[in-house]
């Protein structure tokens, strides 16, 4: 058997194994997908909004925060200007005139992690929330997330991130990706294996920062590093399907690629700093899924490389054959001359079809369980057939950036 075929079998098997694990987890936890209302549990919450050059975005997110369905005397909103060079601070102060309860802090530019660390000690809430400037929350988001602080072992609760009003194909691809991610994140939370506390609204117990320490720069992925740090302290990260947070999708391939390179580079470099999480005896499911993520990246690059090579080889062969027959293709258009053996389903093809159906089911379940009403249309097809090649290319570029030592900046 050729090495390429072995590689394809391995990649398909790994994808199927992950899918089966996710569905088993769904079945085992089918009666606790949503937490019940906490009743009178309404602690003081401090939401921190770090901003750097967010002119044009900051007012929208602030408006969504002051519109949250939560007692105003129990909600503190802190906007931090991290040395912006545009009119971000001016927009914050203008908004503060309309809503005097808004607390505005200003500091020298030092990065998102420094803005968060500057605000946390000044926050009065027993629950600390972080939110990005290009996001806005549904009014009931806080109440929905609070339900998941079911015990002291729950250090953080993450929300469900959705792409706001995708307009072009690229934003649609991100919409489809986030729907699949919404489903799998919930399953990973049941497995104790969430590895990110996303910027688009995560809630923490304030004492968590006393236990594990402040945010770090963490290769520009402070939210990922914080999750790994919580896991290293055996603290739990829960996920709320009911709390919807909308983010603006990247509109150009350049912007999207920059974001994904930062994420993937941050994952690999932070994992290097937390190799202890790969101890299967201590961390079980988490260790397995971290190792799976690394293996998945390797297989992604290999499979896409093999696919491109085989496609190019087939095209070249067909062009060569067409040249020999002087491009007389009429005989091949007859049904009698069609090679029906090409439609035969071998074990590898069957595995591939099952894997594809699993992805479609992930998408469906993500929409259903998060109460999403948006239409999918061509977005899903583009995501299935184009995104794998983009993802493989990003992993190649990520590896190259790590080897070269090149740092990837926010913007």
The confidence score (pLDDT) of residue 341 equals: 55
| Residues of the chain where predicted confidence (pLDDT) is lower than 70 | 1, 38-39, 318, 320-346, 348, 376-379, 410-411
The confidence score (pLDDT) of residue 329 equals: 59
Predicted TM-score (pTM) of the model is 0.90
Neighbours of 73 (CB within 10 A): 9
For 61, half-sphere exposure in the C-beta direction (CA atoms, 13 angstrom radius) is: 30
Instruction: Give me the CATH code for the 39-137 domain, please.
Output: 3.90.550.10
> Which residues are within 8 A (CB) of 314 and not within 5 positions of it... i.e. 6 or more apart?
none
The confidence score (pLDDT) of residue 196 equals: 95
The confidence score (pLDDT) of residue 339 equals: 56
The confidence score (pLDDT) of residue 7 equals: 76
- Cα separation, 177 vs 105, in Å, equals 35
What is the token pair recorded at 367? 């929409």
> Which residues are within 8 A (CB) of 33 and not within 5 positions of it... i.e. 6 or more apart?
186, 241, 369
The confidence score (pLDDT) of residue 267 equals: 96
Distances (CA, A) of 254 to 69, 175, 261: 37, 17, 11
What residue ranges do the domains of the chain occupy?
1-32+148-193+213-411, 39-137
**Residue found under tokens 């923490």:** 204
């Amino acid at each position: 058997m050729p090495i390429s075929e072995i590689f394809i079998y391995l990649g398909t098997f790994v994808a199927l194994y992950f899918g089966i694990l996710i569905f088993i987890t769904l079945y085992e936890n089918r009666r606790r997908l949503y937490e019940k209302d906490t009743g009178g549990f309404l602690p003081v919450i401090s939401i921190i909004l770090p901003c750097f050059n967010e002119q044009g975005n900051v007012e929208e997110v602030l408006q969504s925060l002051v519109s949250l369905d939560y007692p105003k005397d129990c909600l503190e909103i802190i906007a931090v200007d991290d040395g912006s060079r545009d009119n971000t601070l001016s927009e914050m102060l203008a908004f503060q005139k309309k809503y005097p309860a808004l607390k505005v802090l200003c500091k020298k530019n030092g990065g998102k992690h420094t803005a968060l660390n500057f605000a946390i000690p000044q926050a009065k809430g027993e629950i600390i929330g972080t939110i990005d400037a290009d996001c806005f929350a549904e009014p009931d988001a806080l109440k929905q997330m609070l339900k998941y602080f079911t015990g002291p072992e729950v250090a953080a609760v993450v929300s469900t991130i959705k792409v706001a009003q995708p307009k072009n194909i690229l934003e649609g691809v991100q919409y489809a990706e986030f729907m699949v991610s919404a489903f799998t994140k919930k399953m990973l939370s049941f497995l104790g294996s969430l590895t990110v506390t996303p910027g688009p609204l995560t809630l923490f117990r304030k004492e968590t920062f006393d236990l594990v320490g402040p945010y770090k720069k963490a290769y520009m992925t402070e939210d990922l590093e914080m999750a790994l740090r919580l896991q290293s302290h055996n603290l739990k990260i829960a996920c709320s399907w009911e709390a919807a947070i909308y983010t603006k999708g990247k509109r150009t391939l350049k912007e999207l690629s920059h974001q994904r390179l930062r994420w993937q580079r941050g994952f690999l470099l932070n994992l290097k700093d937390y190799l202890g999480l790969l101890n299967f005896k201590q961390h079980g499911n988490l260790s397995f899924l971290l190792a799976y993520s690394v293996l998945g990246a390797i297989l992604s690059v290999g499979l896409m490389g093999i696919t491109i090579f085989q496609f190019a080889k087939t095209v070249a062969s067909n062009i060569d054959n067409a040249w020999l027959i002087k491009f007389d293709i009429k005989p091949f258009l007859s049904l009698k001359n069609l090679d029906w053996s090409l439609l035969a389903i071998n074990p590898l093809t069957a595995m591939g079809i099952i894997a594809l159906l699993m992805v479609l089911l992930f998408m469906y379940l993500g929409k259903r369980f998060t109460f999403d009403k948006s239409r999918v249309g061509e977005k899903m097809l583009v995501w299935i057939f184009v995104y794998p090649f983009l993802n493989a290319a990003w992993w190649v570029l990520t590896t190259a950036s790590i080897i070269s030592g090149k740092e990837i900046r926010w913007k």
